[in-house]
Amino acid sequence: MEAPKRPTITDIALLTGISRSTVSRVISGRGYVSEEKREIINEALIKLNYQPQKKHKTKSLGDMVLVVSGLLTSPVQVILIQNIVSALETSGMKGLISYNEFNPYRLEEYLAYAAERNFAGIILLGIIETPGVIRQLKRMNCPIVLLNQKISGLEADYIMLDDYQGGYIAAQKLIQLGHRRIGLLMGYAKAKAAIKRETGFRDAYKHAGLPVRESDIYYGDFTEESGMEFAERIIKRQSGITGIISCNDLMSAGLIFKLTQASYRIPEDYSIIGFANNFVTSVTGVNLTSVYYDFEAIALTAAEMIIDRHKNPYSEFRDVLFSPELKQGDSVSFPRDQTS
């Protein structure tokens, strides 16, 4: 009597009417698959009692840490990566850098790659949360460090930035100087850091008894182009804005470039507060007043979390909060005389 035929990926595809490549992604855990198709495929796997073929064990890369950047063009991310890699190498580990441009499907593939090769850890410097990303993270069997993002139910070490306070102290500074119309140049609207900064901004307005004008808030994408687009919008509308808060260094650079190109002066015509300032100062010549975080200390903490987790794998998970301070530059002054 012949043994029953072992079901294959082709059998699953024929049963479900879904392509072999999609079935393969569900089985391997690599790549994006919609929740609806994933559920259908999983039911078929159970029905046919599918068992994946055993693969040869991949050589362990037990000293390799995957450092994932959401936006590699960001000067802040470069500072973080440089210091993380340096700290890892000092401890005898290595850092492998990847970036996903906030593409969750690419991130899923990186995570699956690290899982298959037994990486020593993962440090995530910026992600867009999707069900697939969260599911893949929860499958990992190595230490995970997340920067400025918390995922419910994920056992990991967290480094958080007090972005609410950052948005609050930036708005408070401009309000104290007499600015009553303040433009807020944001990153992605759904990013948790952006939401917290906007909440701090709104609360500073509320505590000063001032109304927030929704038209003064602009959502960009963390690039120089977003900064230039916001500057063009301000110039075209002549809205009465006298102060601006820009929530990342690339957007600040684009904003200042476009304003000065149009012969506006900083801070005489527009007072600007940014987040991080070294890059902006070097490329624009404007010594930017900024919400400052100690990114070197943040990077060192991230590397230490991975190193310590290997030494003490069952120790309690850490949740470290870094608070900002307002670093004074030359980009802020009293508002120009202008009615709103």
Does the pLDDT value for residue 178 go beyond 90?
Answer: yes
Q: How many CB atoms lie within 10 A of CB 103?
A: 14
Phi, psi of 271 (to 5 degrees): -90, 135
DSSP secondary structure code for residue 212 in this structure:
P
- The domain limits of the chain are 9-47, 64-162+295-324, 163-292
For the residues 319-334, what does the mean pLDDT come to? 95
| CB-CB contact of 274 with 258 (8 Å) | no
The pLDDT of residue 56 is: 39
User: According to the CATH classification, is domain 64-162+295-324 in 3.10.28.10?
Assistant: no
Does the pLDDT value for residue 61 go beyond 80?
Answer: no
The CATH code of the domain at 163-292 is 3.40.50.2300
pTM: 0.77
Nearest to 322 by CA among 95, 148, 112: 148
- What is the 3-state composition of the chain as percent helix, strand, coil, each rounded to the nearest 5? 45, 15, 40
Of all residues in the chain, the percent with pLDDT exceeding 70 is 93
Asked whether the CA dihedral 181, 186, 190, 191 is positive or negative, the reply is: negative
pLDDT in tens, 215-264: 999 998 888 999 999 999 999 988 899 999 999 888 999 999 999 999 99
Question: Cis link prior to 267 (omega < 30° from 0)?
Answer: yes
pLDDT in tens, 72-81: 778 888 999 9
Phi, psi of 217 (to 5 degrees): -105, 130
CA separation for the pair 331, 323 (Å, rounded): 22
Q: Is the fold of 64-162+295-324 the same as that of 163-292?
A: yes
For the residues 77-106, what does the mean pLDDT come to? 91
pLDDT in tens, 106-126: 888 889 888 888 899 999 998
The pLDDT of residue 4 is: 61
